[in-house]
Amino acid sequence: DANPTTTRLATILIKIKPNIFFIILTLLLRIIIGTFIFKCCCGVFEWLLKTYKPDIYYRMLEMEFMDLKSKIRTVPHFPKEGIMFRDITTLLKDAQGFRRVIDEFVQRYTGVPIDVVVGLDARGFILGGAIAHQLGKGFVPVRKAGKLPAETISHEYALEYGTDKVEIHKDAIKKGDRVLIVDDLIATAGTCLAATHLIKKLGGEVVECAFLIELTDLKGREKLEKEGYKVFSLVEFEGE
């Protein structure tokens, strides 16, 4: 015969189990729904602020990225007199800072139809490669002339004194590919504009040009936007 105590215990457990399952399921649903509602509210608040109080929105955004700017070293008079060189190596060696930069880009482009990420020679390779990896996309380098081993196409562009040339492999971009261009810095936008010409020649479509740093006084953004390209940058610096 079954032990009465064991039987009663089994009966209690049978009654309790569905209740425990129901409680856990309810808690999980509340957490999921609460998180969803919270994100929706944050999104609506951000949209309202950006639409109706853009000055406050962009001031808050600038404060948010102030810590990233503090991790970027400024080297005076490099590579020539009068130039304030924005050195990102100090940011790259900071594990949290580097991760934050990549996460910001990845968050922006997650869900955006992109086929390939193009990085500009040379620091654009560091950022572009990491972003491409996180997005699960391929990476293509645009290099200075003579650096790529296979068949290339090139585009020459004007500098302050003289000209320069960039190249891309002929088979790097397929017709119809949607391309994200990434570089560490936008100044006069000469290199980036040259890269857009290469991508266009191969039949690709530039989704956006993304930069870690924008030198606002040099009007590179205006040149790209005049050609119809979207531009995004994480931090801004004044001056050259």
Residue 199: closest CA among 181, 218, 223, 221: 181
Query: Side chain identity at 168, as an amino acid letter?
Result: I
Catalogue the active-site residues: 123, 160
Which residues contact residue 72 at a Cβ distance below 8 angstroms, ignoring those fewer than 6 apart?
Answer: 86, 87, 88, 90, 91, 213, 235
